[in-house]
Chains A and B, each alone.
Chain A
Amino acid sequence: MRKLSKSVITLSIFLSLIIIVINGCGAAKEPEELKSVEIREYEGKKLSSVNDFRENSIKGPQDVEREGYQFRITGLVENPKDYTYEEVINNNQHYKKLVTLNCVEGWSVTILWEGVLVRELIAESGTLPDAKVVIFHAYDGYTTSFPIDYIMDNDIIMAYKMNEIELPPERGFPFQLVAESKWGYKWIKWITKVELSDDVNYRGFWESRGYSNTGDLDKGFLE
């Protein structure tokens, strides 16, 4: 009888241990990734906030869905290509750059941008010799253009992160062009297409409404 009760106690302790181990294993869940918070300082320099921008897009903030998004390189290229959002980000080298955006309205913001080089994306498709102009198209119908030399000779990035966080929809998700040394209207948001063209007289949305086609920061923006 005493032997039986000893066995029951031993069995109970053994079962309890098993239950504790099983429960313990269940409690160790994978860490859940929470939403990142923007940084406000980089290498000793103060950064502006994502909320310091003024909303001045032509049709208001656009809500581009990650699934189904297509980034297209077309026009005077050897191989026109379509990419998904993940393909643009995962198949290309990432670059970081601290650049100030100056708006024609008089405000400016200094942001740490992270993105991919436009010239590397274009190089994947191969440029045809006739290509003179790079036209950017956005989800809301906005367009702007640059001479091809500006894109190829400078480190112009298409940003998907600002201040270490993913571009919010109102700031141009999935991609915003960081057109350094150009006025803010050249920093196209919600990019969907890059078109190479030989039309040197092409004018984008604001450019066809009286703004300078070059958009150089050191010159006036009205023509």
Chain B
Amino acid sequence: MTNLALAKRIIHWLLLIAVVLYLVTGLGITQFRTVETITFGLLTKSLSFKIHDNLLIPFIILLGLHIFFSLIKKREKGVKDNW
């Protein structure tokens, strides 16, 4: 596995984690009674707010990188096909 492929894989997994966290913490704000019960009080409303707010910029960066790597992959494939 090349360094580029490894970086791509890491980015994709990190983005998936960020998406899941974004959704869960969003629910932790609007449905805090349920989420607090399910997580045994670990994910409180205020913690959800903190994570949700601080996750926006990393999420945008990861999404940008994800799109960038996907475009590179498409380009490489296009070059190979034309060759």
Do the beta carbons of B30 and A105 come within 8 Å of each other?
A: yes
Interface residues of B, Cβ cutoff 8 Å to A: 29-30, 32-33, 44-47, 49-50, 53
Do the beta carbons of A222 and B44 come within 8 Å of each other?
A: no
Do the beta carbons of A222 and B30 come within 8 Å of each other?
A: no
B26 CB to closest chain A CB (Å) equals 10
Secondary structure at chain B's binding surface: helix, strand, loop or mixed?
Answer: helix
Interface size on A, residues (CB 8 A): 12
Beyond A56-B32, A206-B45, A222-B46, 10 additional pairs, beta carbon < 8 A = A59-B33, A60-B33, A105-B29, A105-B30, A209-B44, A209-B45, A210-B44, A210-B46, A210-B50, A222-B53
Contact digits for A195-223, partner B, Cβ 8 Å, 1 yes 0 no: 00000000000100111000000000010
Do the beta carbons of A210 and B29 come within 8 Å of each other?
A: no
Smallest CB gap from B29: residue in A: A105
Interface residues of A, Cβ cutoff 8 Å to B: 54, 56, 58-60, 104-105, 206, 209-211, 222
B49 CB to closest chain A CB (Å) equals 6
In the complex, what distance in Å separates the CA atom of A56 from the CA atom of B30? 7
Smallest CB gap from A59: residue in B: B33
Show 16 residue pairs from A and B whose CB-CB distance is below 8 angstroms, ordered by the A residue: A56-B30, A56-B32, A59-B33, A104-B49, A105-B29, A105-B30, A206-B45, A206-B46, A209-B45, A209-B46, A210-B44, A210-B46, A210-B47, A210-B50, A211-B46, A222-B50
In the complex, what distance in Å separates the CA atom of A209 from the CA atom of B50? 12
In the complex, what distance in Å separates the CA atom of A56 from the CA atom of B29? 9
In the complex, what distance in Å separates the CA atom of A151 from the CA atom of B9? 57
